[in-house]
Structure 1
């Protein structure tokens, strides 16, 4: 029986972290400069500033990921959440989201925010199920952003 494990990020996970995110971004949008920065050097752009990354391993394969970006005191951004197409529908996104919320609390977050796009209907449904609510969208470094959601912890 296949098993799901949520793992803390290890530098050896970088190729999977990059590939999982590159796949969904290029399927719906185009890669932008912040994408390249975070996917090519997560240590510098995510971890060193106080963020975290979790990985989902299903049946021995890395099939999902989610990052937490430290925005400022008590506020983190849920970002770079991806699940391999072949592993979608197995509850992996839900498990990653729950793990990210737990990790955010451990890091001292009092609020999580995320930026998304209205075309990503399944992702938005997952975020709502996790407790996020829509708020006005501020200017963003991503052209694709037309949704912002927050979750008070």
Structure 2
């Protein structure tokens, strides 16, 4: 059973470790990642964003962030699930939580950056209504070759 909770200082290292493990498994850790993960309170929370942790029987196994952009737009990022807990649809539950959270707060849209290398993730984003949009030339992540958004 997954319980999704808001960020607390005790989860800072879990948030970082889950993301670093995921990034190293599929890509590499970029400077932008270190900035967001090393100082998540400063770069995400204090700027009006949110971090959520997924607890599986009280064990932190997943996370994601909603990074404030402008005018009711948030970026879904830093989503990771512990490799030992994949296949339990935890990522989908986290995604649904993010969408519901955005709707409850009456945001305009949620956008995300991903890689077409992640077929399963792209399929899930589309399943939940995300549409591909034009990726700007100055994308925040070198690994990103696709940008998607969900109008709320």
Normalised by the shorter chain, which TM-score bucket?
Answer: over 0.9
2:142 aligned residue: 143
Structure 1 residues 101-152: Cα deviation after superposition (integer angstroms, max 9, x where no partner): 1222344411010000011111111211221011111121211010100000
Gaps of 5+ in 1: none
Structure-1 separation of matches of 2:19 and 2:89: 18
Aligned pairs for 1:78-117 within 5 A: 78-117=76-115
2:11 aligned residue: 13
Structure-2 separation of matches of 1:69 and 1:47: 8
Gaps of 5+ in 2: none
1:74 aligned residue: 72
Q: CA deviation at 1:53?
A: 0.9
Q: Secondary structure at the match of 1:151?
A: strand
Question: In structure 1, which of residues 130, 133, 139 is the aligned counterpart of residue 131 of structure 2?
Answer: 133
Q: CA deviation at 1:94?
A: 1.0
Aligned pairs for 1:22-101 within 5 A: 22-101=20-99
CA RMSD of superposed structures (Å): 1.1
Q: CA deviation at 1:45?
A: 0.6
- The answer to whether the 8 Å contact 1:54/1:99 transfers is no
